[in-house]
Chain A
Protein backbone atom coordinates (compact mmCIF):
# COMPACT_ATOMS: atom_id res chain seq x y z
CA UNK A 1 0.00 0.00 0.00
CA UNK A 2 2.70 2.49 1.08
CA UNK A 3 4.88 1.41 -1.83
CA UNK A 4 2.11 2.00 -4.37
CA UNK A 5 1.40 5.47 -2.96
CA UNK A 6 5.12 6.25 -3.10
CA UNK A 7 5.36 5.09 -6.74
CA UNK A 8 2.36 7.22 -7.76
CA UNK A 9 3.80 10.20 -5.87
CA UNK A 10 7.18 9.76 -7.48
CA UNK A 11 5.61 9.57 -10.96
CA UNK A 12 3.61 12.74 -10.26
CA UNK A 13 6.79 14.52 -9.13
CA UNK A 14 8.69 13.31 -12.20
CA UNK A 15 5.88 14.49 -14.48
CA UNK A 16 5.94 17.96 -12.92
CA UNK A 17 9.72 18.18 -13.26
CA UNK A 18 9.69 16.99 -16.88
CA UNK A 19 6.86 19.38 -17.70
CA UNK A 20 9.33 22.08 -16.68
CA UNK A 21 7.32 23.24 -13.68
CA UNK A 22 10.53 24.00 -11.79
CA UNK A 23 11.40 26.53 -14.50
CA UNK A 24 9.41 28.98 -12.37
CA UNK A 25 12.51 29.04 -10.19
CA UNK A 26 14.29 30.97 -12.92
CA UNK A 27 11.59 33.66 -12.94
CA UNK A 28 11.73 33.71 -9.13
CA UNK A 29 15.52 34.07 -9.15
CA UNK A 30 15.37 36.92 -11.66
CA UNK A 31 12.67 38.70 -9.64
CA UNK A 32 14.49 38.33 -6.34
CA UNK A 33 17.96 39.26 -7.60
CA UNK A 34 16.51 42.31 -9.36
CA UNK A 35 14.70 43.37 -6.18
CA UNK A 36 17.76 42.76 -3.98
CA UNK A 37 20.03 44.82 -6.27
CA UNK A 38 17.44 47.58 -6.52
CA UNK A 39 16.77 47.91 -2.76
CA UNK A 40 20.52 47.55 -2.11
CA UNK A 41 21.03 50.74 -4.10
CA UNK A 42 18.18 52.61 -2.42
CA UNK A 43 19.47 51.72 1.07
CA UNK A 44 17.14 53.46 3.46
CA UNK A 45 17.34 50.78 6.20
CA UNK A 46 14.33 48.92 4.93
CA UNK A 47 16.17 46.60 2.55
CA UNK A 48 15.58 43.52 4.73
CA UNK A 49 11.91 44.33 5.16
CA UNK A 50 11.43 44.71 1.40
CA UNK A 51 13.39 41.56 0.56
CA UNK A 52 11.52 39.43 3.14
CA UNK A 53 8.13 40.78 2.14
CA UNK A 54 8.75 40.46 -1.57
CA UNK A 55 10.61 37.14 -1.35
CA UNK A 56 8.08 35.35 0.86
CA UNK A 57 5.09 36.75 -1.04
CA UNK A 58 6.65 35.53 -4.27
CA UNK A 59 7.30 32.07 -2.75
CA UNK A 60 3.67 31.93 -1.71
CA UNK A 61 2.19 33.16 -5.00
CA UNK A 62 4.42 31.05 -7.26
CA UNK A 63 3.56 27.98 -5.19
CA UNK A 64 -0.17 28.73 -5.14
CA UNK A 65 -0.22 29.09 -8.93
CA UNK A 66 1.67 25.80 -9.35
CA UNK A 67 -0.55 24.01 -6.81
CA UNK A 68 -3.72 25.18 -8.54
CA UNK A 69 -2.64 24.64 -12.12
CA UNK A 70 -1.14 21.20 -11.56
CA UNK A 71 -3.64 20.13 -8.92
CA UNK A 72 -6.73 20.80 -11.02
CA UNK A 73 -5.53 18.41 -13.72
CA UNK A 74 -4.25 15.64 -11.47
CA UNK A 75 -7.39 13.53 -11.69
CA UNK A 76 -9.41 15.05 -14.56
CA UNK A 77 -6.47 14.96 -16.98
CA UNK A 78 -5.86 11.31 -16.15
CA UNK A 79 -9.51 10.52 -16.84
CA UNK A 80 -9.58 12.57 -20.02
CA UNK A 81 -6.38 11.03 -21.36
CA UNK A 82 -7.38 7.59 -20.06
CA UNK A 83 -3.97 7.06 -18.46
CA UNK A 84 -5.94 6.09 -15.36
CA UNK A 85 -7.30 2.92 -16.99
CA UNK A 86 -3.97 1.14 -16.93
CA UNK A 87 -3.32 2.24 -13.35
CA UNK A 88 -6.66 1.30 -11.82
CA UNK A 89 -6.75 -2.03 -13.65
CA UNK A 90 -3.81 -2.99 -11.39
CA UNK A 91 -3.99 -3.72 -7.66
CA UNK A 92 -4.21 0.00 -6.92
CA UNK A 93 -7.08 1.28 -4.78
CA UNK A 94 -8.69 4.51 -5.84
CA UNK A 95 -7.84 6.18 -2.52
CA UNK A 96 -4.19 5.20 -2.98
CA UNK A 97 -4.21 6.94 -6.33
CA UNK A 98 -5.60 10.18 -4.80
CA UNK A 99 -3.21 10.13 -1.85
CA UNK A 100 -0.27 9.34 -4.14
CA UNK A 101 -1.15 12.24 -6.43
CA UNK A 102 -1.45 14.55 -3.41
CA UNK A 103 1.92 13.48 -2.03
CA UNK A 104 3.54 13.92 -5.46
CA UNK A 105 2.23 17.45 -5.87
CA UNK A 106 3.01 18.39 -2.27
CA UNK A 107 6.53 17.00 -2.75
CA UNK A 108 6.99 19.09 -5.90
CA UNK A 109 5.97 22.20 -3.99
CA UNK A 110 8.23 21.42 -1.03
CA UNK A 111 11.23 21.00 -3.35
CA UNK A 112 10.25 24.19 -5.19
CA UNK A 113 9.92 26.05 -1.87
CA UNK A 114 13.29 24.70 -0.70
CA UNK A 115 15.08 26.21 -3.70
CA UNK A 116 13.14 29.46 -3.36
CA UNK A 117 14.04 29.61 0.33
CA UNK A 118 17.71 29.40 -0.63
CA UNK A 119 17.06 32.35 -2.96
CA UNK A 120 15.37 34.37 -0.20
CA UNK A 121 18.26 33.78 2.22
CA UNK A 122 20.80 34.61 -0.51
CA UNK A 123 18.98 37.91 -1.19
CA UNK A 124 18.86 38.63 2.56
CA UNK A 125 22.59 38.03 2.84
CA UNK A 126 23.19 40.25 -0.20
CA UNK A 127 21.37 43.23 1.32
CA UNK A 128 22.52 42.90 4.96
CA UNK A 129 25.89 41.09 4.47
CA UNK A 130 25.22 38.93 7.53
CA UNK A 131 22.59 36.73 9.15
CA UNK A 132 21.05 37.51 12.54
CA UNK A 133 19.05 35.31 14.87
CA UNK A 134 15.75 36.97 13.82
CA UNK A 135 16.30 35.80 10.25
CA UNK A 136 15.44 32.28 11.42
CA UNK A 137 11.84 33.51 11.69
CA UNK A 138 11.74 33.41 7.90
CA UNK A 139 11.78 29.63 8.25
CA UNK A 140 8.54 29.80 10.25
CA UNK A 141 6.91 31.88 7.50
CA UNK A 142 8.14 29.35 4.90
CA UNK A 143 6.72 26.52 7.01
CA UNK A 144 3.33 28.26 7.10
CA UNK A 145 3.51 28.75 3.32
CA UNK A 146 4.07 25.00 2.91
CA UNK A 147 1.02 24.38 5.12
CA UNK A 148 -0.90 26.73 2.84
CA UNK A 149 0.20 24.64 -0.16
CA UNK A 150 -1.04 21.44 1.49
CA UNK A 151 -4.51 22.96 1.82
CA UNK A 152 -4.54 24.31 -1.74
CA UNK A 153 -3.30 20.96 -3.16
CA UNK A 154 -6.03 19.06 -1.36
CA UNK A 155 -8.69 21.53 -2.53
CA UNK A 156 -7.47 21.41 -6.15
CA UNK A 157 -7.60 17.61 -5.97
CA UNK A 158 -11.07 17.71 -4.47
CA UNK A 159 -12.37 19.87 -7.32
CA UNK A 160 -10.45 17.86 -9.90
CA UNK A 161 -12.18 14.68 -8.72
CA UNK A 162 -15.57 15.84 -10.01
CA UNK A 163 -15.15 18.94 -12.14
CA UNK A 164 -13.46 20.12 -15.33
CA UNK A 165 -9.99 21.73 -15.07
CA UNK A 166 -11.36 25.19 -15.85
CA UNK A 167 -14.08 25.09 -13.20
CA UNK A 168 -11.67 23.50 -10.73
CA UNK A 169 -9.25 26.40 -11.28
CA UNK A 170 -12.04 28.93 -10.72
CA UNK A 171 -13.21 27.17 -7.52
CA UNK A 172 -9.70 26.74 -6.11
CA UNK A 173 -8.58 30.27 -6.89
CA UNK A 174 -11.81 31.74 -5.48
CA UNK A 175 -11.34 29.79 -2.27
CA UNK A 176 -7.77 31.01 -2.05
CA UNK A 177 -8.87 34.64 -2.39
CA UNK A 178 -11.78 34.28 0.05
CA UNK A 179 -9.57 32.28 2.44
CA UNK A 180 -7.01 35.08 2.43
CA UNK A 181 -9.72 37.31 3.93
CA UNK A 182 -11.08 34.65 6.30
CA UNK A 183 -10.35 36.77 9.41
CA UNK A 184 -12.29 39.71 7.91
CA UNK A 185 -15.12 37.34 7.07
CA UNK A 186 -15.20 36.16 10.69
CA UNK A 187 -15.20 39.79 11.84
CA UNK A 188 -18.11 40.51 9.51
CA UNK A 189 -19.98 37.48 10.87
CA UNK A 190 -19.61 38.96 14.38
CA UNK A 191 -21.29 42.15 13.26
CA UNK A 192 -24.14 40.52 11.30
CA UNK A 193 -27.53 39.54 12.74
CA UNK A 194 -30.09 36.76 12.36
CA UNK A 195 -29.89 34.41 9.40
CA UNK A 196 -27.04 36.40 7.76
CA UNK A 197 -24.94 35.88 10.88
CA UNK A 198 -25.41 32.09 10.68
CA UNK A 199 -24.71 32.10 6.95
CA UNK A 200 -21.55 34.21 7.14
CA UNK A 201 -20.26 32.38 10.22
CA UNK A 202 -20.75 29.05 8.41
CA UNK A 203 -18.96 30.34 5.32
CA UNK A 204 -16.17 31.87 7.39
CA UNK A 205 -15.38 28.55 9.10
CA UNK A 206 -15.84 26.51 5.92
CA UNK A 207 -13.34 28.41 3.78
CA UNK A 208 -9.66 27.78 4.55
CA UNK A 209 -8.23 30.36 6.91
CA UNK A 210 -5.21 31.50 4.92
CA UNK A 211 -4.97 34.78 6.78
CA UNK A 212 -3.90 32.87 9.93
CA UNK A 213 -1.15 31.23 7.89
CA UNK A 214 0.15 34.53 6.58
CA UNK A 215 2.79 35.86 8.98
CA UNK A 216 4.99 37.45 6.31
CA UNK A 217 4.40 41.02 7.42
CA UNK A 218 5.03 40.42 11.11
CA UNK A 219 8.18 38.41 10.38
CA UNK A 220 9.45 41.18 8.09
CA UNK A 221 9.12 43.42 11.16
CA UNK A 222 11.00 40.82 13.23
CA UNK A 223 8.02 40.12 15.47
CA UNK A 224 8.22 36.62 17.02
CA UNK A 225 5.63 33.93 16.27
CA UNK A 226 4.06 32.18 19.26
CA UNK A 227 4.72 28.45 19.50
CA UNK A 228 1.01 28.01 20.09
CA UNK A 229 0.25 29.51 16.68
CA UNK A 230 2.68 27.11 15.03
CA UNK A 231 0.89 24.14 16.65
CA UNK A 232 -2.52 25.55 15.93
CA UNK A 233 -1.73 26.22 12.27
CA UNK A 234 -0.11 22.80 11.82
CA UNK A 235 -3.12 20.98 13.23
CA UNK A 236 -5.53 23.20 11.30
CA UNK A 237 -3.77 22.68 7.95
CA UNK A 238 -3.48 18.92 8.47
CA UNK A 239 -7.13 18.67 9.50
CA UNK A 240 -8.35 20.80 6.59
CA UNK A 241 -6.21 18.98 4.01
CA UNK A 242 -7.32 15.60 5.37
CA UNK A 243 -10.97 16.62 5.16
CA UNK A 244 -10.61 17.91 1.59
CA UNK A 245 -8.68 14.77 0.58
CA UNK A 246 -11.33 12.56 2.18
CA UNK A 247 -13.94 14.39 0.14
CA UNK A 248 -11.89 13.82 -3.02
CA UNK A 249 -11.54 10.11 -2.19
CA UNK A 250 -15.25 9.79 -1.41
CA UNK A 251 -16.24 11.31 -4.75
CA UNK A 252 -13.60 9.47 -6.75
CA UNK A 253 -14.47 6.09 -5.18
CA UNK A 254 -17.95 6.33 -6.72
CA UNK A 255 -17.07 7.91 -10.04
CA UNK A 256 -17.63 6.05 -13.32
CA UNK A 257 -14.64 6.50 -15.61
CA UNK A 258 -16.49 6.72 -18.93
Chain B
Protein backbone atom coordinates (compact mmCIF):
# COMPACT_ATOMS: atom_id res chain seq x y z
CA UNK B 1 0.00 0.00 0.00
CA UNK B 2 1.45 3.42 -0.95
CA UNK B 3 1.97 5.81 1.94
CA UNK B 4 0.88 8.78 -0.17
CA UNK B 5 -1.33 8.82 -3.26
CA UNK B 6 -1.96 12.26 -4.69
CA UNK B 7 -4.76 12.04 -7.21
CA UNK B 8 -4.84 15.18 -9.32
CA UNK B 9 -4.67 17.71 -6.49
CA UNK B 10 -5.01 21.20 -7.92
CA UNK B 11 -5.10 24.63 -6.33
CA UNK B 12 -6.08 27.92 -7.91
CA UNK B 13 -6.27 31.06 -5.80
CA UNK B 14 -8.40 34.00 -6.83
CA UNK B 15 -6.51 37.21 -6.30
CA UNK B 16 -7.11 40.94 -6.75
CA UNK B 17 -9.58 43.24 -5.03
CA UNK B 18 -12.64 41.40 -6.36
CA UNK B 19 -10.93 37.99 -6.16
CA UNK B 20 -11.67 37.33 -9.79
CA UNK B 21 -8.16 36.90 -11.22
CA UNK B 22 -7.17 33.23 -11.05
CA UNK B 23 -3.64 32.35 -10.01
CA UNK B 24 -2.69 28.72 -10.34
CA UNK B 25 -0.53 27.57 -7.44
CA UNK B 26 -0.63 23.88 -8.29
CA UNK B 27 -1.60 22.19 -11.51
CA UNK B 28 -3.21 18.74 -11.24
CA UNK B 29 -0.59 16.72 -9.40
CA UNK B 30 -0.40 12.94 -9.53
CA UNK B 31 2.18 11.38 -7.27
CA UNK B 32 2.66 8.15 -5.38
CA UNK B 33 5.10 7.64 -2.54
CA UNK B 34 5.72 4.09 -1.42
CA UNK B 35 5.75 2.97 2.18
CA UNK B 36 9.17 3.30 3.83
CA UNK B 37 10.64 5.67 1.23
CA UNK B 38 12.49 8.91 1.77
CA UNK B 39 10.96 11.07 -0.91
CA UNK B 40 12.38 14.45 -1.87
CA UNK B 41 10.14 17.17 -3.25
CA UNK B 42 12.36 19.64 -5.05
CA UNK B 43 11.69 22.96 -6.65
CA UNK B 44 12.63 26.62 -6.60
CA UNK B 45 10.82 29.18 -4.44
CA UNK B 46 7.16 29.54 -5.35
CA UNK B 47 7.14 26.24 -7.22
CA UNK B 48 4.18 24.83 -5.28
CA UNK B 49 5.98 22.64 -2.72
CA UNK B 50 4.49 24.28 0.36
CA UNK B 51 1.06 24.49 -1.29
CA UNK B 52 1.17 20.73 -1.87
CA UNK B 53 2.08 20.10 1.75
CA UNK B 54 -0.62 22.46 3.02
CA UNK B 55 -3.18 20.69 0.83
CA UNK B 56 -2.15 17.34 2.24
CA UNK B 57 -2.36 18.70 5.80
CA UNK B 58 -5.84 20.13 5.19
CA UNK B 59 -4.65 23.69 5.81
CA UNK B 60 -5.85 24.82 2.40
CA UNK B 61 -8.61 23.27 0.34
CA UNK B 62 -8.02 21.99 -3.19
CA UNK B 63 -9.79 23.36 -6.25
CA UNK B 64 -10.06 19.75 -7.40
CA UNK B 65 -8.51 16.36 -6.83
CA UNK B 66 -8.00 14.23 -3.76
CA UNK B 67 -5.39 12.23 -1.93
CA UNK B 68 -4.97 9.16 0.20
CA UNK B 69 -2.56 8.98 3.11
CA UNK B 70 -1.67 5.60 4.58
CA UNK B 71 -4.53 4.12 2.57
CA UNK B 72 -7.19 6.45 4.02
CA UNK B 73 -8.86 9.58 2.75
CA UNK B 74 -6.63 12.55 3.51
CA UNK B 75 -9.48 14.56 5.04
CA UNK B 76 -10.08 11.92 7.72
CA UNK B 77 -8.95 13.64 10.96
CA UNK B 78 -7.98 10.32 12.52
CA UNK B 79 -5.36 9.65 9.84
CA UNK B 80 -3.54 12.70 11.19
CA UNK B 81 -2.71 10.82 14.39
CA UNK B 82 -0.34 8.80 12.20
CA UNK B 83 1.21 11.83 10.52
CA UNK B 84 3.91 14.26 11.57
CA UNK B 85 4.35 17.67 9.96
CA UNK B 86 7.09 20.27 10.18
CA UNK B 87 6.05 23.52 8.50
CA UNK B 88 8.53 25.82 6.81
CA UNK B 89 10.11 28.28 9.26
CA UNK B 90 8.00 27.03 12.14
CA UNK B 91 6.77 29.33 14.87
CA UNK B 92 5.40 28.06 18.15
CA UNK B 93 3.62 29.32 21.25
CA UNK B 94 6.52 31.24 22.70
CA UNK B 95 4.99 31.49 26.17
CA UNK B 96 5.56 27.75 26.57
CA UNK B 97 8.75 25.90 27.35
CA UNK B 98 9.93 23.16 24.98
CA UNK B 99 8.73 20.58 27.48
CA UNK B 100 5.27 22.18 27.82
CA UNK B 101 4.88 22.59 24.07
CA UNK B 102 5.66 18.96 23.36
CA UNK B 103 3.31 17.90 26.14
CA UNK B 104 0.57 20.02 24.59
CA UNK B 105 1.13 18.53 21.14
CA UNK B 106 1.27 15.03 22.62
CA UNK B 107 -2.11 15.67 24.25
CA UNK B 108 -3.57 16.89 20.95
CA UNK B 109 -2.15 13.87 19.13
CA UNK B 110 -3.81 11.55 21.62
CA UNK B 111 -0.65 10.15 23.23
CA UNK B 112 -1.88 8.37 26.38
CA UNK B 113 -1.14 10.16 29.67
CA UNK B 114 1.05 7.42 31.10
CA UNK B 115 3.29 7.39 28.05
CA UNK B 116 3.36 11.14 27.46
CA UNK B 117 6.18 12.31 29.68
CA UNK B 118 8.43 9.41 28.63
CA UNK B 119 7.77 10.18 24.96
CA UNK B 120 8.40 13.91 25.43
CA UNK B 121 11.63 13.24 27.29
CA UNK B 122 12.98 10.81 24.69
CA UNK B 123 12.06 13.14 21.80
CA UNK B 124 13.79 16.10 23.48
CA UNK B 125 16.84 13.91 23.88
CA UNK B 126 16.67 12.80 20.26
CA UNK B 127 16.78 16.37 18.96
CA UNK B 128 19.32 17.53 21.54
CA UNK B 129 17.10 19.88 23.54
CA UNK B 130 17.11 18.18 26.94
CA UNK B 131 19.26 20.89 28.53
CA UNK B 132 16.89 23.68 27.51
CA UNK B 133 13.58 21.91 27.98
CA UNK B 134 12.53 24.31 30.74
CA UNK B 135 13.32 27.48 28.78
CA UNK B 136 10.50 29.46 27.18
CA UNK B 137 10.56 29.26 23.39
CA UNK B 138 10.77 33.06 23.05
CA UNK B 139 14.40 32.69 24.12
CA UNK B 140 15.22 30.06 21.48
CA UNK B 141 17.39 30.69 18.42
CA UNK B 142 16.15 29.88 14.90
CA UNK B 143 18.08 26.63 14.84
CA UNK B 144 16.68 25.56 18.21
CA UNK B 145 13.15 26.32 17.03
CA UNK B 146 13.78 24.16 13.99
CA UNK B 147 14.76 21.34 16.34
CA UNK B 148 11.56 21.88 18.34
CA UNK B 149 9.69 21.71 15.03
CA UNK B 150 11.28 18.39 14.19
CA UNK B 151 10.58 17.13 17.71
CA UNK B 152 6.86 17.95 17.51
CA UNK B 153 6.67 16.23 14.12
CA UNK B 154 8.04 12.89 15.37
CA UNK B 155 6.80 13.07 18.97
CA UNK B 156 3.76 10.84 18.53
CA UNK B 157 5.67 8.17 16.60
CA UNK B 158 3.94 8.80 13.26
CA UNK B 159 4.14 6.39 10.34
CA UNK B 160 4.42 9.19 7.80
CA UNK B 161 6.40 12.41 8.30
CA UNK B 162 6.25 15.56 6.19
CA UNK B 163 9.10 18.01 6.50
CA UNK B 164 8.94 21.38 4.74
CA UNK B 165 12.51 22.65 4.32
CA UNK B 166 13.80 20.80 7.39
CA UNK B 167 17.40 22.01 6.99
CA UNK B 168 16.40 25.67 6.92
CA UNK B 169 18.11 27.70 9.64
CA UNK B 170 20.39 24.89 10.73
CA UNK B 171 24.18 25.03 10.91
CA UNK B 172 26.22 22.26 9.20
CA UNK B 173 26.18 20.11 12.35
CA UNK B 174 22.43 20.57 12.70
CA UNK B 175 21.91 19.65 9.06
CA UNK B 176 23.89 16.52 9.50
CA UNK B 177 21.90 15.58 12.60
CA UNK B 178 18.65 16.05 10.69
CA UNK B 179 19.98 13.90 7.84
CA UNK B 180 20.89 11.20 10.35
CA UNK B 181 17.48 11.48 11.96
CA UNK B 182 15.75 11.03 8.60
CA UNK B 183 17.79 7.94 7.94
CA UNK B 184 16.89 6.61 11.38
CA UNK B 185 13.21 7.23 10.63
CA UNK B 186 13.58 5.25 7.41
CA UNK B 187 15.23 2.40 9.30
CA UNK B 188 12.31 2.46 11.72
CA UNK B 189 10.08 1.80 8.72
CA UNK B 190 8.59 5.28 8.47
CA UNK B 191 7.92 7.17 5.27
CA UNK B 192 9.56 10.59 4.99
CA UNK B 193 8.38 13.18 2.49
CA UNK B 194 10.42 16.35 2.51
CA UNK B 195 10.74 19.46 0.42
CA UNK B 196 14.07 21.14 0.02
CA UNK B 197 16.19 23.50 -2.01
CA UNK B 198 19.37 21.78 -0.94
CA UNK B 199 19.99 19.27 -3.69
CA UNK B 200 23.00 17.66 -2.05
CA UNK B 201 20.79 16.68 0.90
CA UNK B 202 18.21 15.24 -1.44
CA UNK B 203 20.85 13.36 -3.39
CA UNK B 204 22.37 11.91 -0.23
CA UNK B 205 19.09 10.97 1.46
CA UNK B 206 16.31 10.28 -0.97
CA UNK B 207 15.23 7.05 -2.58
CA UNK B 208 13.18 9.04 -5.08
CA UNK B 209 12.66 12.68 -5.88
CA UNK B 210 10.12 14.76 -7.74
CA UNK B 211 10.84 18.12 -9.30
CA UNK B 212 8.11 20.72 -9.33
CA UNK B 213 8.25 24.08 -11.06
CA UNK B 214 5.54 26.71 -11.55
CA UNK B 215 3.03 24.38 -9.93
CA UNK B 216 3.71 21.54 -12.34
CA UNK B 217 5.49 18.25 -11.88
CA UNK B 218 8.57 18.28 -14.16
CA UNK B 219 10.24 15.02 -13.33
CA UNK B 220 10.14 12.10 -10.95
CA UNK B 221 12.27 9.07 -10.39
CA UNK B 222 14.79 7.19 -8.29
CA UNK B 223 17.83 9.31 -7.49
CA UNK B 224 20.06 6.53 -8.80
CA UNK B 225 18.27 6.56 -12.15
CA UNK B 226 18.22 10.33 -12.51
CA UNK B 227 21.90 10.68 -11.70
CA UNK B 228 23.08 7.82 -13.90
CA UNK B 229 21.83 9.09 -17.22
CA UNK B 230 24.90 8.72 -19.39
CA UNK B 231 25.16 11.22 -22.18
CA UNK B 232 27.38 8.97 -24.34
CA UNK B 233 30.51 10.24 -22.60
CA UNK B 234 33.14 8.55 -20.47
CA UNK B 235 35.71 10.04 -18.17
CA UNK B 236 39.29 8.71 -18.40
CA UNK B 237 41.78 9.46 -15.63
CA UNK B 238 45.45 8.44 -15.82
CA UNK B 239 48.58 9.11 -13.85
CA UNK B 240 51.11 11.61 -15.13
CA UNK B 241 51.07 15.01 -16.72
CA UNK B 242 51.64 13.93 -20.33
CA UNK B 243 48.75 14.04 -22.80
CA UNK B 244 49.44 11.73 -25.77
CA UNK B 245 48.87 13.18 -29.25
CA UNK B 246 46.64 10.21 -30.13
CA UNK B 247 44.42 11.13 -27.15
CA UNK B 248 44.16 14.70 -28.42
CA UNK B 249 43.31 13.29 -31.85
CA UNK B 250 40.25 11.62 -30.30
CA UNK B 251 38.92 15.08 -29.52
CA UNK B 252 39.30 14.65 -25.76
CA UNK B 253 39.06 17.66 -23.47
CA UNK B 254 42.06 17.10 -21.16
CA UNK B 255 42.67 18.76 -17.78
CA UNK B 256 45.91 18.27 -15.84
CA UNK B 257 45.51 18.44 -12.09
CA UNK B 258 48.62 17.69 -10.01
CA UNK B 259 49.97 14.38 -11.28
CA UNK B 260 46.77 13.16 -12.90
CA UNK B 261 45.09 13.93 -16.18
CA UNK B 262 41.35 13.82 -16.67
CA UNK B 263 39.84 13.54 -20.13
CA UNK B 264 36.24 13.26 -21.33
CA UNK B 265 35.72 11.39 -24.59
CA UNK B 266 32.89 9.82 -26.57
CA UNK B 267 31.82 6.45 -25.25
CA UNK B 268 32.58 4.71 -28.58
CA UNK B 269 36.22 5.86 -28.42
CA UNK B 270 37.07 4.34 -25.06
CA UNK B 271 38.95 1.36 -26.58
CA UNK B 272 41.08 3.72 -28.69
CA UNK B 273 41.83 5.82 -25.59
CA UNK B 274 42.93 2.75 -23.62
CA UNK B 275 45.19 1.70 -26.51
CA UNK B 276 46.73 5.18 -26.64
CA UNK B 277 47.54 5.08 -22.91
CA UNK B 278 49.00 1.57 -23.21
CA UNK B 279 51.23 2.64 -26.07
CA UNK B 280 52.56 5.54 -24.02
CA UNK B 281 52.79 3.30 -20.87
CA UNK B 282 50.63 5.70 -18.89
CA UNK B 283 48.87 4.01 -15.92
CA UNK B 284 45.09 4.14 -16.20
CA UNK B 285 43.44 5.13 -12.90
CA UNK B 286 39.76 5.16 -13.82
CA UNK B 287 37.37 4.88 -16.72
CA UNK B 288 33.85 5.80 -15.72
CA UNK B 289 30.67 6.85 -17.46
CA UNK B 290 29.85 10.52 -17.00
CA UNK B 291 26.92 10.80 -14.59
CA UNK B 292 24.48 13.60 -14.46
CA UNK B 293 24.35 15.06 -10.95
CA UNK B 294 20.97 15.70 -9.40
CA UNK B 295 21.74 19.38 -9.63
CA UNK B 296 22.39 19.12 -13.39
CA UNK B 297 19.16 17.15 -13.80
CA UNK B 298 17.28 19.72 -11.75
CA UNK B 299 18.70 22.66 -13.72
CA UNK B 300 17.99 20.94 -17.01
CA UNK B 301 14.36 20.32 -16.05
CA UNK B 302 13.91 23.91 -14.99
CA UNK B 303 15.58 25.28 -18.09
CA UNK B 304 13.48 23.05 -20.30
CA UNK B 305 10.36 24.32 -18.55
CA UNK B 306 11.48 27.93 -19.03
CA UNK B 307 12.18 27.29 -22.74
CA UNK B 308 8.78 25.64 -23.24
CA UNK B 309 7.08 28.53 -21.48
CA UNK B 310 9.08 31.04 -23.56
CA UNK B 311 8.27 29.39 -26.90
CA UNK B 312 4.62 29.13 -25.92
CA UNK B 313 4.33 32.92 -25.58
| B-binding residues in A (CB < 8 A) | 3-4, 7-8, 11, 14-15, 18-19, 81-93, 254, 256-258
B81/A90 in contact, CB under 8 A: yes
B95/A92 in contact, CB under 8 A: no
Interchain CB contact (< 8 A) of A11 among B80, B81, B93: B93
Interchain CB contact (< 8 A) of B152 among A15, A19, A81, A86: A86
| A-binding residues in B (CB < 8 A) | 13, 54, 57-61, 77-78, 80-81, 83, 85, 87, 89-93, 95-96, 104-105, 107-110, 149, 152, 156
B95/A90 in contact, CB under 8 A: no
A258 contact set on B, CB distance < 8 A: 13, 60
A87 contact set on B, CB distance < 8 A: 108
B95/A85 in contact, CB under 8 A: no
B95/A14 in contact, CB under 8 A: yes
Interface centre among A8, A11, A15, A254 (most CB of B within 10 A): A11
A89/B104 in contact, CB under 8 A: no
Interchain CB contact (< 8 A) of A257 among B59, B93, B149: B59
What CA separation (Å) do A250 and B91 show in the bound complex?
Answer: 26
B109/A91 in contact, CB under 8 A: yes
What CA separation (Å) do A166 and B104 show in the bound complex?
Answer: 29
A91/B95 in contact, CB under 8 A: no
B136 nearest in chain A by CB position: A18
What CA separation (Å) do A65 and B156 show in the bound complex?
Answer: 39
Q: How far is the CB of B83 from chain A (nearest CB, A)?
A: 7
Q: How far is the CB of A98 from chain B (nearest CB, A)?
A: 15
- A3-B107, A7-B107, A7-B108 known; A89-B85 Cβ under 8 A: yes
Q: Known pairs A82-B87, A83-B93. 14 more at Cβ < 8 A?
A: A4-B107, A11-B93, A15-B95, A18-B95, A19-B95, A82-B91, A85-B85, A88-B57, A88-B59, A89-B59, A89-B80, A90-B105, A90-B109, A92-B77
28 A-B Cβ contacts within 8 A?
A7-B107, A11-B96, A14-B95, A15-B95, A81-B91, A82-B87, A83-B91, A83-B92, A83-B93, A85-B54, A85-B57, A85-B87, A86-B87, A86-B92, A86-B149, A86-B152, A88-B58, A89-B80, A89-B83, A89-B85, A90-B81, A91-B81, A91-B109, A93-B77, A256-B60, A256-B61, A257-B59, A258-B13
- A85-B59, A257-B60 known; A4-B108 Cβ under 8 A: yes
Per CB-CB distance, the 8 closest pairs between chain A and chain B, nearest first, are A89-B85, A18-B95, A256-B60, A85-B87, A257-B59, A7-B107, A89-B57, A91-B80
Interface centre among B83, B96, B108, B156 (most CB of A within 10 A): B108
B156 contact set on A, CB distance < 8 A: 90
A94 nearest in chain B by CB position: B58
A81 contact set on B, CB distance < 8 A: 91
What CA separation (Å) do A61 and B125 show in the bound complex?
Answer: 47
Interchain CB contact (< 8 A) of B108 among A19, A90, A254: A90
What CA separation (Å) do A85 and B57 show in the bound complex?
Answer: 8
Q: How far is the CB of A205 from chain B (nearest CB, A)?
A: 32
A82/B107 in contact, CB under 8 A: no
B61 contact set on A, CB distance < 8 A: 254, 256
Interface centre among B59, B61, B95, B152 (most CB of A within 10 A): B59
B87 contact set on A, CB distance < 8 A: 82, 85-86, 89
Q: How far is the CB of B106 from chain A (nearest CB, A)?
A: 10
B90 contact set on A, CB distance < 8 A: 82, 85-86
B149 contact set on A, CB distance < 8 A: 86
B95 contact set on A, CB distance < 8 A: 14-15, 18-19
B77 contact set on A, CB distance < 8 A: 91-93
What CA separation (Å) do A3 and B90 show in the bound complex?
Answer: 25
What CA separation (Å) do A96 and B96 show in the bound complex?
Answer: 21
A256 nearest in chain B by CB position: B60
